[in-house]
Structure 1
Amino acid sequence: MRLSLLLLACSLPLPLLAQSFRGRVLHADSTAAPVPFASIGVKGKAAGTIADAQGRFRFSDSPELVATDSVIVTGVGYRPARLLLEQLRQPGFTIRLKPQPQALREVVVRPRQLRPQVLGRTGTGGVAHWGVSSIVKDSIRRREMLGSEFGTFLTSSYNCYVDNFNVYVQANPFRQVRLRLLFYAVRNGRPAEQLLPADIQLVLAEQQRGWITIDLRPYNLQFSEGQKVVVALQWLDAVGQTPGYQFFDIPALLPSPLHRVYTRNKSQANWKFYPAQPSIYLNVQSWK
């Protein structure tokens, strides 16, 4: 662990078994078109991975896994697929995802009287951190880091349109880092369905640090007064590392009793919640 609060992917228990599960995720309507960076997770367990750009994936066996475990394969904009873990032992196993039909995007006419607002935290300090270590060089162990998520709960006090997303990266020893931006609705105090069908990714190059911004105006994302949402990042890939004990870091205030973050090790693992506030915020335009 980097700290006792947030579990880092490098601190996960890593299996010692040589066996692994593997396969490929393809588009259902094409013979060979991959679904890049699809999420593969074992339901209720910290096991699974992220497919590569060609849809190929592999993750290691462990004592907690059984043949009848359910595996959920998801891709943004696709219907989830469910299968049994034992199926992934078949050579050349292929999973085909069907596109999720999307309603036509409405034309948004913004009110004339808009006021800039901020949802989230613009500070850059904090004793808690989320990220992964750059010192884990073994390829199998590096794969075990893929798919971890980190999110924060936000509540809009007004009707608003979202202009952009911002995250502060305190340290980054990698040549390239790829993250996925996710927005979840909140049901019973937990992240639920995703709010955006678009696969929005952040690609950081050459140890890029500081505030990272993504323009969200093309997605017409709108929150109503009192709406609770989760803004999350999913770890997809990292390339290269520098020597020494260095981490990819997003800082957070701890403790912060009025705020919550969640983490989970894989896309179908159970969530863990903490009283903290990360350096993540949205710029929005509000109206009454």
Structure 2
Amino acid sequence: MRSLRLSITLFILLLTVAAGAAAQSINGIITKVGSQEPVPFVNIGVPGKAVGTVADEQGRYRLSVAAPTDTVRISSIGFRPRRLTVQALLTQPNVQLTEDAVALREVKVKAKGYFRRTRTLGISTNSENSTITLAATDLGAEIGTVISLKHKPTKVLNANFNVAYNRAGALKFRVNLYRLLPNGKPSMEKLVQRDIIVTSSVAKGPITVDLTADQLILDDDFFLALEWIGGADAAKVTNALAFSASIGYTNNDLYIRTTSQGTWERQSAGAYLAGMQPRASFYVTVQD
């Protein structure tokens, strides 16, 4: 009997320790090396796991962690990414990033007659009947779709995201355009070397973002995504925000990840709709 009580006590103690470890959080600030100037909207997370967040406009972040041996990746456009263990962050939660030289894209000069046709690429239907939600566990949750080019090269003019309903109020998003991996999934490489931040209270209809200043001329298909980085909380974003969607056979692969730097999960229409794919109403206006 004594042995049984000891085992139960030890089991409860282990559960308590595990719960305490799972509940740990790190609070810190991300700044520039040399200037101590805060770096806004930095992505912070354990790659491949649902552990991540995004720093606010003042570089402040709060990261919920569990395993001290996990490696956290800290990244922002224009800075060298850093990788630190959870244990290192617990010891020193304030992190400095070093500015990195951004390689400018090659400027393509085309003869007169290029980019005369304006067209829409992606899914532009706007419906409240067929929708898809952004299942968010923390800041950095992201939803996106592959955009297939009709002709090459193509100049991207703007990006559009059709909101079916937004009952969460003003939300802050980052627009991301990623290069695709050989297997068709989004890579970590962004095609625009600036943070494209938009705050929107659109209750229904398109969120439109002008990209003409970026002079983005592409020769390959790409991944268009919308990342939630502020406003409301994860539960409200999950339950009170939805985007227009449809079902079809076209090759517009839809991926979602639930937090910053998590694993991209391809969305499926289910076995009963074999061969069909869910498609978010995300599209771009281009010239080719």
Q: TM-score w.r.t. structure 1 length?
A: 0.79
**Structure 1 letter corresponding to 2:281:** S
C-alpha RMSD of the superposition = 2.5
Give the counterpart of 2:124 among 122, 125, 148. Answer: 122
Choose 250-259 or 178-187, whichever is displaced more: 250-259
CA distance in structure 1 between the aligned counterparts of 2:112 and 2:71, rounded to whole angstroms: 50
The aligned residue for residue 81 of structure 1 is 82
The aligned residue for residue 6 of structure 1 is none
**Aligned length in residues:** 252
The aligned residue for residue 165 of structure 2 is 171
SS of 1:83 mapped into structure 2: strand
Residue 287 of structure 2 corresponds to residue 285 of structure 1: yes
- Is this contact kept in 2: 1:129–1:252, CA < 8 A? yes
CA distance in structure 2 between the aligned counterparts of 1:268 and 1:212, rounded to whole angstroms: 24
- Is this contact kept in 2: 1:43–1:69, CA < 8 A? no
**Structure 1 letter corresponding to 2:123:** R
Residues 65-94 of structure 1, C-alpha deviations (whole Å, 9 max, x = no match): 311111001112222111001122236x21
Residue 229 of structure 2 corresponds to residue 212 of structure 1: no
Which segments of structure 1 move beyond 6 Å, counting only runs of 4 or more? none
The aligned residue for residue 37 of structure 1 is 41
CA distance in structure 2 between the aligned counterparts of 1:119 and 1:155, rounded to whole angstroms: 7
**Structure 2 letter corresponding to 1:58:** R
Residues 95-123 of structure 1, C-alpha deviations (whole Å, 9 max, x = no match): 11122212346666564321111110111
CA distance in structure 2 between the aligned counterparts of 1:169 and 1:29, rounded to whole angstroms: 42
Name the % identity: 32
- Is this contact kept in 2: 1:108–1:220, CA < 8 A? no
SS of 1:52 mapped into structure 2: coil
The aligned residue for residue 97 of structure 1 is 97
Choose 40-49 or 166-175, whichever is displaced more: 166-175
**Structure 1 letter corresponding to 2:176:** L
Name the CA shift for 1:131/1:43 in 2 (closer, same or farther; >3 Å): closer
- Is this contact kept in 2: 1:21–1:59, CA < 8 A? yes
Residues 130-160 of structure 1, C-alpha deviations (whole Å, 9 max, x = no match): 2369xxxxxxxxxx42111111011112121
- Is this contact kept in 1: 2:125–2:244, CA < 8 A? no
The aligned residue for residue 28 of structure 1 is 33
**Structure 2 letter corresponding to 1:236:** I
- Is this contact kept in 2: 1:122–1:281, CA < 8 A? yes
Larger helix share, 1 or 2: 2
Choose 101-110 or 79-88, whichever is displaced more: 101-110
Residue 52 of structure 2 corresponds to residue 48 of structure 1: yes
Choose 15-24 or 168-177, whichever is displaced more: 15-24
Gaps of 5+ in 2: 1-18, 268-276
SS of 1:254 mapped into structure 2: strand
Gaps of 5+ in 1: 1-14, 134-143
Name the CA shift for 1:240/1:80 in 2 (closer, same or farther; >3 Å): closer
